[in-house]
Amino acid sequence: MHVRLFLLAIAAMIPTAATSAADETQTKANSDQNEKICENVPQIGSRLSKKRVCATRAEWAERRLQDRKDAEYIQKGITTAICTAVKTNGASTC
């Protein structure tokens, strides 16, 4: 009985905690777009190496948006090679 009551109390607190965290994040994001934020970005090809990159909130938002667009572009398969036929000795090759 006590365990069930305890779990019910925790379940009731989760949505409000998530909502307040989302509101806090949104408030921080809108607070100052010119604030400098530094992040450690992992280097491609290394599991340990990281590079410290500093940019404004607006620049980070733009970078994340562009990364998302690039990922969607690649996932759609638009980057497949387009073959332009070139005739070599009477046969078409790409």
| Dihedral, CA of residue 46, residue 48, residue 51 and residue 57, to nearest 10 | 110
What's this model's pTM, rounded to 2 decimal places? 0.47
Task: Tell me how many domains the chain contains.
Answer: 1
In a domain, 3, yes or no: no
Name 32's Cβ contacts closer than 8 Å, sequence gap at least 6.
57
Q: Which domain holds residue 54?
A: 33-79
Q: What is the pLDDT of residues 72-92, one digit of tens each?
A: 998 888 655 566 666 666 666
Q: CA of 77: how far to CAs of 54, 64, 70, in Å?
A: 32, 20, 11
In a domain, 49, yes or no: yes
Which segments within the chain are labelled E, that is strand?
36-42, 50-56, 86-88, 91-93
Q: What is the pLDDT of residues 43-54, one digit of tens each?
A: 988 888 999 999
